[in-house]
Structure 1
């Protein structure tokens, strides 16, 4: 369209100049030729539109949206058509309490009330993309600013609706995955109706009131202390079992030994020991009556 405009302007200007002065008549004919060439080149270039990878083109003729979608590559179009390009790659929309981290400046976290009436603050990222063949419908019914018209309000509304079914502590701990999955299902249903494909809903952070956090931390500490005490008790119980088995073994050994030590065996062991002592060169034997054991004295 730029070349066409330049061509028309060149023809008009040079035509005015040739009419104003006969000396410009030849220049006027050249101007007509140049203008005509520019217009032809402009028309030809307007017949071709290049769509980059990850995008589609939606055609509009005098404000009326056409149903045909232009895919990536070089496309031949009506030169008087205007083409609006749509990004169909994965996009993310973040709502965060951290300044300038989300798509809007300032604190943009989602504040919801849980089933037990506590305020829960969530940071969230939504990954989605425009469905290629739905781009004309999106442009016709929603417009190009679909993040503010559809994505943001739907996500925030669904989070508030679902969070009301959970206690704050459950959202923070045991029910977090379930909540995230139910949120994905609810948002995906609404997105599909409007020509968007939801890929992921990511709960990046979930903050509870300070009093609830303190209660949760106290409970976790108590559970850890309880586990520690159970470990100590188990260890002491195992040690007691070990000592019991050891004592039983000693008792059994003593009982068996006692039952095998007869008087004759003891007498034999005594005589055997005396015989070994008697063989010593420094030993002296004192003979006593038969009721007592002979006394053996050793010396240098």
Structure 2
């Protein structure tokens, strides 16, 4: 009984030591994450091997693991930029991105966990200022939104492509102009729209008038052709046909007396 405590204490100490070692050595990496291993006595950040993937890992207790999210992320940035004529424009843009998985070690070594603030956001600010500076407020407000968005993406891509960041998309969410400029642009657009509507009405009226002229000309041509074709002989033949049909009717009494100036019989009775 006197020897039991002497054996139990070292065993308990060993168990506690093992628990501490395991707790410091165990690393669990969650879904959509990856780990960068830092070897304290082995050259620092591991850049020549893939990062640690999802799941449970055991590492030496004197080493460290830095965990990064490697799924697509979104960052929204609001900034003030200048248009081509020097007006202050407020721009809100969202960037979709993720770190390049196979180069995560280099990203950590050169940019650290602060790579979003140190690299990505300055890049999109620089690209936005460069692109917006090529356009007028009117273009920013109306017709060039998609083009500006694409150009900001391309400019940002040039900056971050060798910074171990994968750029997926840039979305321009809002462009805010000074109120006086916005009102002036809206008035101009309204006037242009009214002018287009007026021109459309003029074109429509002109087409309708042309249609009426064509129809009238067609009727005049038809009457002229008909008049030219109605000779005395044709009129006389038609008169004879009409007289014959009238005489054949059982409800009509016809008295023929001589002939008219055109040689047709005169019809005196119709009971």
Query: Could you tell me which residue of structure 1 aligns to residue 27 of structure 2?
Result: 49
Aligned-pair CA distance for 1:113: 1.2
Aligned-pair CA distance for 1:83: 1.6
The answer (yes or no) to whether the contact 1:58–1:65 under 8 Å persists in 2 is no
Classify 1:30/1:255 alpha carbon distance in 2 versus 1 (closer, same or farther; 3 Å). same
Partners of 1:185 and 1:275 in 2: CA distance: 93
Task: Find the partner of 2:66 among 78, 84, 87.
Answer: 84
Query: Could you tell me which residue of structure 1 aligns to residue 175 of structure 2?
Result: 206
Deviation string for 1:81-108 (max 9, x for gaps)?
Answer: 122211111111112xxxxxxxxxxxxx
1:94 and 2:76 are equivalent in the alignment: yes
Aligned pair count reads: 264
TM-score normalised to structure 1 length: 0.72
Q: Any unmatched runs of 5+ in structure 1?
A: 1-22, 96-108
Once structures 1 and 2 are overlaid, which stretch shifts more, 39-48 or 145-154?
39-48
Aligned-pair CA distance for 1:120: 1.3
Once structures 1 and 2 are overlaid, which stretch shifts more, 45-54 or 190-199?
45-54
Partners of 2:261 and 2:108 in 1: CA distance: 126
Partners of 1:41 and 1:168 in 2: CA distance: 65
Classify 1:186/1:290 alpha carbon distance in 2 versus 1 (closer, same or farther; 3 Å). closer
The answer (yes or no) to whether the contact 1:111–1:120 under 8 Å persists in 2 is yes
SS of 1:231's equivalent in the other structure is helix
Higher relative contact order (CA 8 A, sep 6+): 2
SS of 1:50's equivalent in the other structure is strand
Query: Could you tell me which residue of structure 1 aligns to residue 221 of structure 2?
Result: 252
Task: Find the partner of 2:15 among 23, 26, 37.
Answer: 37
Partners of 1:271 and 1:220 in 2: CA distance: 73
Query: Could you tell me which residue of structure 2 aligns to residue 102 of structure 1?
Result: none
Classify 1:290/1:48 alpha carbon distance in 2 versus 1 (closer, same or farther; 3 Å). closer
Q: Any unmatched runs of 5+ in structure 2?
A: none
- Mapping of residues 122-271 of structure 1, within 5 Å: 122-271=91-240
Classify 1:166/1:254 alpha carbon distance in 2 versus 1 (closer, same or farther; 3 Å). closer
Classify 1:219/1:36 alpha carbon distance in 2 versus 1 (closer, same or farther; 3 Å). same
